[in-house]
Amino acid sequence: MEVIKIDNSCVCQTFKGLCKGTPLLLLLKGASAPFRITFDKFIDNCIIGIRDDSPIIIDCDCICSIGITPSCVETTSSFTNPTSITIPDLSQGVPYPSPITVTGLNGNILKVTVVINNFSHTFPDDVGILLVGPGGQNVDLLDCAGGGTNAVNATLTFDDNAPSQIVGPVVSGTFQPSAFCNRNYNLSAPTPPFGSQLLAFNGTNPNGAWSLYVQDFVGGDVGIIDGGWTLNITSCES
């Protein structure tokens, strides 16, 4: 269980009248932005809530302000570009980037996951896969990872909450973003340093153009993402 405690100089807001399940935005001293929790109960001088599906305890003396967010439903929407991405030797993927346009979502992002469909490459360690959102936030999903064993039709789901990164042969599964270096992608892609967690997109507007940059950085091997890619966005929809 996560415990957040900074100091005792903030004035505690009154939580005792809140109903269980109330969505809250809390701002802690020293923080640049509020974060969202779901209220559970009040114990002594602490608020108990749920954040990212896990319990969290926050000392009230650390809370500078509190807001009750509008009622909404956490909704996960999926967007897919099924076009294959070929990965030539020592070159950028085709197409570069591979786009997905997101429309019709009302709430800001709570969580993002990405699925790379049917990835094959004769030396996966050569490959970089970079995701860029409509606001310019970015995450290096795969870079200097996977070694030299052939990847064959692997479906890779990238999720911050996965148990581990890709550390061995590339096989189908769910993994944390797995960038063990930050290489310079070809022009039109942003430059390093890149984000290392998909939570970089949390709190931003999901609507607009998302881009997946794929590139082979070392000579001698080729590959393909035969099934394209899927973007899963969880947002708070009214």
Q: Under a CB-based contact definition with an 8 Å cutoff, are residues 28 and 6 in contact?
A: yes
Burial label, 71 (beta-carbon count in 10 A; 0-12, 13-18, 19+): exposed
| Side chain identity, residue 61 | D
pLDDT at position 17 is: 63
Other CB atoms closer than 10 Å to residue 124's CB: what's the count? Answer: 24
DSSP secondary structure code for residue 199 in this structure: G
pLDDT at position 183 is: 97
- The model's pTM is 0.74
| Side chain identity, residue 171 | V
pLDDT at position 44 is: 77
Residues in the chain: 238
Per-residue pLDDT 10s for the chain (238 aa) are: 444 444 444 434 455 566 778 878 777 887 767 778 888 888 877 888 888 778 888 887 777 676 666 556 789 999 999 999 999 999 999 999 999 999 999 888 989 999 999 999 999 999 999 999 999 999 999 999 999 999 999 999 999 999 999 988 999 999 999 999 999 999 999 999 999 999 999 989 999 999 999 999 999 999 999 999 999 999 988 7
Sketch out the chain's domains with CATH numbers. 2-68 (2.30.30), 74-237 (2.60.120.260)
